[in-house]
C-alpha cells in the first residue's frame, strides 16, 4: 500500500515536474513579452508625448473646445499626456494578451485571438469617440456664436445641449461598434434621445410660450426697424 | 490674361457691332427692379451731358434676376433730355444687358464689365451699384472726369453720410486701410468707382476671379489693389448716398464676416507692401464738398451695448484664446458699464482688431468662428462711438474718426512687431 502511494506520489511529482518544466520557459517567455511590452509602451509614450508637444496638440485641443470638456470630466492629465498614456496601456494590453499565447493552451489562445480580433473595432470606436468630441466642440462653438449673434436667450445652454447631443450620439455609435450590449445601447439611446426631444418640446410648448412669443415679437420688431436703422455699410 | 472665362457669345457679337468706345459704364445687378431704371436714366443722362463727344456704352451685368431687372434696364428712358442737356450728343449711348458667367457674385459681374471695356478699348470705365436712390447725372462726371481729364487711374467715391451710417467702413475698413497702405481713401468699399484702362487691364490680369473676390469683397479688393500697386488714386465728392439694403437676407454677423475675411485675406497677401508704410497722406479730391440734408437714423445704442456685454459673458472663453491678456482685461472692465456712459477706448479697439488680424493669420481658431465672434465687440465699438458722437455734428463726428485713424497709425509699429513674430500666444 505504501509502495502504491509512493508510486502515485512519484507520478504526481513527475507530473508536477513535467508541468513546471513545461510552464517555466513559457512563463519566462510571457514575462519577457510583458517586459518588452512595458518597455515599448514607455518608449512610445515618451516619443508620442514629445511629438504631440512639439505639434502643440494640447493647444489645438484647447482651441477645438475639447480641453475644457476633458477637465470637466475630471481628467487631471493634459490631453497630450492622456493620449500618450492611452497608447501605453493599449500596448501593455496587447503584450499581456500576446504573452498568453506562450502557454499554448487552447482557451488562452482563443482569448488572445478574440482580443486581437476585437482590437480593430476598439480602434474604430476610439476614433468615433475622438471625432465625436471634436465635432461636439466645433458644433457647440458654432451654436454659441450663432445664438449670441442672434441675441437668443441663454446661448450657453444651447451650446451645451448641442455638445451633449453630439457626444451622446457618438458614444452610442462607439458602443455599438465594440458590440457592448448592442440592443440595450440602441434602445437606451432611442429612449434618451426621444425623451429629450419630447421633453424639450413639452417644456418649450407649455412652459416657454411667453418666451417663444417674446422671441417672435423681437424678430418682427427687428424686421420693422431694419429699414430705418443703422446701415453698417 | 488670367481672366480666362470667355464672354457670352451674344455679348461678344454686340461688342463687335459697336466696335470701339471711349467710356464704359457698368452696372452689376441682381433683382434691383425698384431702383435700376433710375440708375440707368441718371447714368445715361450724365454720359450724354458731361461727355457729349465720347462714344459711351452702358453695360448691365446681371446675375439672373427674376424680378424684371433686365427689362427695366432695356426700357428705362431718359425722356425729354432738353431739360438737362446743354449740348447735343454726337453719339448715342449704347445699352447692353448681359448675364455674367462664373461664380455668382458682384465680382463676376464686374469682371464681365471689365472684359467688355477691354474689348471696346475704352479709355475709362465707371461702375455704380444698381441699388442707388441718390445717383444723379453728375456722378458720371465725378467718376469719369478725373480719369478722362486728369489721367487718374482710380477714383474712389466720397459720400456724405449720416454720422451713424457706414459703421463698418468708419470703425474698421477706412482706418485700417489708411494705416496699412498709407492713403486716406475715405470709402474703400463705396461700391461706385472710376477706373482707367490700365487699371482695368491690371485687374483682369490678377488670379482672383475664381476666389471669394468673385463672390464678395470685390470693392475692398479693387481699392486695395489700386492703392497697393501704386496706381494714381483720387477721390470724388458725390454728395449723399442713399441706397437699398445690400442684401436683406444677410445678418450683420454674416456681412461682417464677409467684409473682414476679404480684408484680412488682402492683409495677408499684401504684407510686404504695408509692413514698411508709416503714417498716411491725403489723396486729391475732386468736386466741391457741401452739406446736404440726410435721412435721420434710428439707433438702439442700449441694445448694442447689451450685445457687447452678452458677448463678453458668453464668448469670453473664445476671445481669451487669441486676445492679449491686457486687451481681454480691458474689454472685461466694460462688462457692467451702463449704456449711457459706455465707452471703448480707441487704443483698446485698435488692439482688439490687431489681435483678430493676427489670429486670422495664425488660424488660432477656425476663421469662420473667429470672425463671427467679432460681431459683439464691433457692436460695442459702434455703441461707444454713438455715445461719443451723441451731440456731435458731422464735422465733429468726422474729427472723432480722425482720432481713431491716428490711433491705428500710432499703434501700427506694435502691430507689425507682433505680425513678424508668428506663434506669439496670449
Maximum average pLDDT range among A111-125, A196-210, B23-37: B23-37
Chain B within 8 Å of A233 (Cβ-Cβ)? yes
Residue owning grid cell 453630439: A166
The distance of A119 to chain B (nearest Cα, Å) reads 34
What is the distance between the alpha carbons of residues B157 and B241, in angstroms, rounded to a whole number?
10
* Residue B383 backbone dihedrals phi, psi, to 5 degrees: -60, -40
Element (H, E) at B49: helix B36-50
What is the distance between the alpha carbons of residues B380 and B337, in angstroms, rounded to a whole number?
11
Choose the closest CB to B369 out of A62, A141, A233. A141
Chain A within 8 Å of B256 (Cβ-Cβ)? yes
Residue of A63, A134, A232 to mutate when probing chain B, most B C-beta within 10 A: A232
What is the distance between the alpha carbons of residues B47 and B23, in angstroms, rounded to a whole number?
9
Residues of A in contact with B359 (CB under 8 A): none
Termini Cα distance of chain A: 112
The distance of A69 to chain B (nearest Cα, Å) reads 13
Asked if B372 and A226 come within 8 Å (Cβ–Cβ), the reply is no
The distance of B58 to chain A (nearest Cα, Å) reads 26
Q: What mean pLDDT comes out for the span B203-207? A: 92
pLDDT tens, position by position, B374-409: 999 999 999 999 999 888 888 889 999 999 999 999
DSSP for B81-117, written as a single string: GGGT-SS--SSPPEEEEEE--SSSSHHHHHHHHHHHH
pLDDT at B212 (0 to 100): 83
Give the side-chain half-sphere CA count within 13 A for A30. Answer: 19
Asked if B297 and A228 come within 8 Å (Cβ–Cβ), the reply is yes
DSSP conformational letter for B8: P
> Who contacts B288 (Cβ-Cβ below 8 Å, separation ≥6)?
B237
Q: What are the CA-CA distances from residue B151 to residues B56, B286, B322 (Å)?
A: 18, 13, 45
What is the distance between the alpha carbons of residues B336 and B329, in angstroms, rounded to a whole number?
13
Asked if A229 and B165 come within 8 Å (Cβ–Cβ), the reply is no
3-state secondary structure string across B124-170: EEEECCCCECCCCCHHHHHHHHHHHHHCCCEEEEEEECCCCCCHHHH
What is the distance between the alpha carbons of residues A69 and A198, in angstroms, rounded to a whole number?
26
Q: What mean pLDDT comes out for the span B289-310? A: 80
CB B263 within 8 A of CB B270: no
Q: What mean pLDDT comes out for the span B106-130? A: 93
CA-closest candidate to residue B173, choices B297, B262, B244, B247: B262
Residues of B in contact with A233 (CB under 8 A): 166, 168-169, 189, 246, 255
Residues of B in contact with A145 (CB under 8 A): 253, 315, 318, 369, 372-373
Of the listed ranges A51-55, B107-111, B176-180, B265-269, the least confidently predicted one is A51-55
What is the distance between the alpha carbons of residues B30 and B10, in angstroms, rounded to a whole number?
20
What is the distance between the alpha carbons of residues B92 and B121, in angstroms, rounded to a whole number?
17
CB B58 within 8 A of CB B25: yes
Q: Strand B23-29 vs strand B124-127: parallel, antiparallel, or unpaired?
A: parallel
Asked if B246 and A142 come within 8 Å (Cβ–Cβ), the reply is no
Chain B within 8 Å of A231 (Cβ-Cβ)? yes
The distance of B344 to chain A (nearest Cα, Å) reads 18
The distance of A91 to chain B (nearest Cα, Å) reads 33
Choose the closest CB to B375 out of A59, A149, A228. A149
Q: Which of residues 42-81 of B touch A (CB under 8 A)?
A: none
What is the distance between the alpha carbons of residues B386 and B342, in angstroms, rounded to a whole number?
9
Q: What mean pLDDT comes out for the span A110-133? A: 86
CB B227 within 8 A of CB B153: no
Residues of A in contact with B174 (CB under 8 A): none
What is the distance between the alpha carbons of residues A208 and A216, in angstroms, rounded to a whole number?
12
> Who contacts A171 (Cβ-Cβ below 8 Å, separation ≥6)?
A129, A132
* Integer-rounded Cα radius of gyration of chain B: 22
Mean pLDDT score of chain A: 82
What is the distance between the alpha carbons of residues B310 and B405, in angstroms, rounded to a whole number?
28
Instruction: Tell me which chain B residue has its CA closest to the CA of residue A62.
Output: B321
Asked if A63 and B164 come within 8 Å (Cβ–Cβ), the reply is no
Residue of B161, B245, B255 to mutate when probing chain A, most A C-beta within 10 A: B245
Is residue B373 predicted with pLDDT exceeding 90?
yes
pLDDT tens, position by position, A199-227: 777 777 776 666 667 666 666 555 444 44
> Who contacts B295 (Cβ-Cβ below 8 Å, separation ≥6)?
A228, B162, B242
Chain B within 8 Å of A144 (Cβ-Cβ)? yes
Beta partners for B124?
A: B23, B196
Q: What mean pLDDT comes out for the span B301-327? A: 92
- From the CB of residue B124, how many other CB atoms can be counted at a distance below 10 Å? 30
Q: What mean pLDDT comes out for the span B183-196? A: 93
Asked if A230 and B165 come within 8 Å (Cβ–Cβ), the reply is yes
Could you give the residue ranges of the DSSP H alpha helices within chain A? 2-54, 57-63, 67-72, 79-100, 106-149, 155-178, 182-202, 209-226
CA-closest candidate to residue B298, choices A227, A229, A223, A225: A229
CA angle in degrees (0–180, nearest 5) for B338-B343-B348: 135
Instruction: Tell me which chain B residue has its CA closest to the CA of residue A141.
Output: B369
ipTM of this predicted complex? 0.81
CA-closest candidate to residue B139, choices B248, B29, B38, B22: B38
Of the listed ranges A40-44, A179-183, B100-104, B421-425, the least confidently predicted one is B421-425
CB B283 within 8 A of CB B155: no
pLDDT at B73 (0 to 100): 87
CA angle in degrees (0–180, nearest 5) for B411-B190-B213: 85
The distance of B177 to chain A (nearest Cα, Å) reads 15
Choose the closest CB to A148 out of B164, B296, B311. B311
Residues of B in contact with A232 (CB under 8 A): 166-168, 252, 255-256
Instruction: Tell me which chain A residue has its CA closest to the CA of residue B254.
Output: A149
Annotation: CATH topology of A120-223: Helix Hairpins (1.10.287)
Band the pLDDT of B83: cuts 50, 70, 90.
low
The distance of B100 to chain A (nearest Cα, Å) reads 25
CATH architecture, range B9-286: Alpha-Beta Complex (3.90)
Counting one residue from chain A and one from chain B, the pairs whose CB atoms sit within 8 A come to 79
* Residue A62 backbone dihedrals phi, psi, to 5 degrees: -60, -45
- The B233-240 sheet, strands edge to edge: B94-99, B56-62, B23-29, B124-127, B193-196, B154-160, B233-240, B285-286
Choose the closest CB to A145 out of B164, B252, B372. B372
Is residue B67 predicted with pLDDT exceeding 50?
yes
pLDDT at B81 (0 to 100): 53
Choose the closest CB to B253 out of A62, A149, A226. A149
What is the distance between the alpha carbons of residues B74 and A102, in angstroms, rounded to a whole number?
89
pLDDT at B74 (0 to 100): 85
* Integer-rounded Cα radius of gyration of chain A: 29
Burial tier of B81 (Cβ tally within 10 Å: 0-12, 13-18, 19+):
middle
The residue extents of the domains of chain B are: 9-286, 301-419
Residues of A in contact with B306 (CB under 8 A): 151
b/e code A7-23 from CB counts within 10 Å (16+ = b):
eeeeeeeeeeeeeeeee
- Torsion sign over Cα B387, B393, B394, B395: negative
Instruction: Tell me which chain A residue has its CA closest to the CA of residue B296.
Output: A228
Amino acid at each position: 500500500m505504501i509502495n502504491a502511494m509512493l508510486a502515485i506520489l512519484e507520478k504526481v511529482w513527475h507530473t508536477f515536474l513535467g508541468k513546471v518544466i513545461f510552464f517555466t520557459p513559457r512563463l519566462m517567455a510571457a514575462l519577457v513579452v510583458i517586459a518588452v511590452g512595458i518597455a515599448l509602451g514607455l518608449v512610445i509614450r515618451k516619443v508620442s508625448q514629445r511629438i504631440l508637444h512639439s505639434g502643440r496638440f494640447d493647444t489645438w485641443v484647447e482651441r477645438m473646445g475639447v480641453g475644457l470638456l476633458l477637465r470637466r470630466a475630471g481628467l487631471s492629465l493634459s490631453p497630450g499626456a492622456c493620449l500618450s498614456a492611452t497608447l501605453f496601456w493599449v500596448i501593455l494590453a496587447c503584450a499581456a494578451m500576446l504573452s498568453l499565447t506562450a502557454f499554448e493552451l487552447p482557451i488562452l489562445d482563443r482569448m488572445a485571438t478574440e482580443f486581437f480580433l476585437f482590437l480593430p473595432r476598439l480602434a474604430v470606436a476610439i476614433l468615433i469617440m475622438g471625432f465625436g468630441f471634436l465635432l461636439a466642440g466645433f458644433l457647440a462653438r458654432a451654436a454659441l456664436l450663432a445664438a449670441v449673434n442672434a441675441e437668443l436667450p441663454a446661448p450657453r445652454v444651447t451650446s451645451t445641449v448641442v455638445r451633449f447631443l453630439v457626444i451622446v450620439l457618438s458614444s452610442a455609435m462607439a458602443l455599438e461598434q465594440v458590440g457592448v450590449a448592442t440592443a440595450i445601447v440602441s434602445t437606451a439611446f432611442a429612449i434618451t434621445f426621444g425623451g429629450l426631444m419630447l421633453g424639450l418640446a413639452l417644456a418649450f410648448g407649455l412652459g416657454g410660450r411667453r418666451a417663444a412669443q417674446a422671441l417672435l415679437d423681437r424678430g418682427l420688431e427687428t424686421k420693422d426697424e431694419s429699414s430705418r436703422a443703422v446701415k453698417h455699410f | 490674361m488670367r481672366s480666362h472665362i470667355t464672354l457670352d457669345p451674344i455679348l461678344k457679337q454686340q461688342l463687335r457691332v459697336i466696335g470701339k468706345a471711349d467710356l464704359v459704364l457698368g452696372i452689376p445687378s441682381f433683382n434691383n427692379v425698384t431702383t435700376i431704371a433710375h440708375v440707368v436714366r441718371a447714368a445715361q443722362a450724365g454720359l450724354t451731358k458731361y461727355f457729349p463727344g465720347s462714344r459711351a456704352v452702358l453695360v448691365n451685368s446681371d446675375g439672373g434676376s427674376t424680378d424684371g431687372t433686365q427689362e427695366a434696364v432695356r426700357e428705362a428712358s431718359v425722356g425729354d433730355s432738353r431739360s438737362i442737356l446743354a449740348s447735343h450728343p454726337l453719339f448715342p449711348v449704347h445699352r447692353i444687358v448681359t448675364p455674367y458667367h462664373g461664380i455668382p457674385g458682384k465680382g463676376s459681374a464686374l469682371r464681365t464689365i471689365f472684359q467688355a471695356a477691354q474689348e471696346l478699348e475704352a479709355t475709362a470705365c465707371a461702375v455704380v451699384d444698381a441699388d442707388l436712390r441718390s445717383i444723379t447725372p453728375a456722378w458720371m462726371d465725378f467718376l469719369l472726369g478725373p480719369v478722362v481729364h486728369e489721367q487718374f487711374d482710380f477714383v474712389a467715391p466720397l459720400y456724405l453720410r449720416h454720422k451713424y451710417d457706414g459703421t463698418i467702413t468708419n470703425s474698421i475698413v477706412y482706418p485700417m486701410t489708411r494705416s496699412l497702405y498709407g492713403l486716406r481713401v475715405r470709402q474703400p468699399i463705396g461700391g461706385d468707382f472710376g477706373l482707367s484702362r490700365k487699371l482695368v487691364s491690371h485687374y483682369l490680369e490678377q488670379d482672383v476671379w475664381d476666389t471669394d473676390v468673385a463672390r464678395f469683397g470685390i470693392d475692398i479688393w479693387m481699392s486695395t489693389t489700386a492703392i497697393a500697386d501704386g496706381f494714381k488714386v483720387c477721390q470724388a465728392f458725390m454728395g449723399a448716398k442713399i441706397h437699398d439694403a445690400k442684401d436683406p437676407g444677410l445678418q450683420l454677423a454674416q456681412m461682417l464676416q464677409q467684409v473682414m475675411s476679404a480684408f484680412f485675406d488682402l492683409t495677408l497677401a499684401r504684407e510686404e507692401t504695408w509692413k514698411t508704410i508709416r503714417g498716411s497722406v491725403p489723396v486729391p479730391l475732386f468736386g466741391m464738398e457741401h452739406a446736404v440734408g440726410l435721412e435721420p437714423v434710428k439707433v438702439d445704442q442700449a441694445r448694442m451695448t447689451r450685445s457687447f456685454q452678452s458677448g463678453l459673458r458668453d464668448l469670453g472663453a473664445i476671445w481669451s484664446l487669441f486676445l492679449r491678456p491686457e486687451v481681454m482685461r480691458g474689454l472685461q472692465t466694460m462688462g457692467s458699464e451702463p449704456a449711457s456712459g459706455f465707452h471703448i477706448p480707441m487704443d483698446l479697439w485698435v488692439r482688439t482688431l490687431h489681435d483678430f488680424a493676427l489670429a486670422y493669420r495664425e488660424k488660432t481658431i477656425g476663421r469662420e468662428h473667429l470672425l463671427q465672434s467679432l460681431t459683439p465687440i464691433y457692436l460695442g465699438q459702434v455703441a461707444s462711438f454713438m455715445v461719443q458722437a451723441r451731440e456731435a455734428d458731422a464735422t465733429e463726428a468726422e474729427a472723432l474718426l480722425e482720432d481713431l485713424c491716428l490711433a491705428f497709425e500710432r499703434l501700427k509699429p506694435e502691430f507689425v512687431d507682433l505680425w513678424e513674430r508668428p506663434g506669439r500666444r496670449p
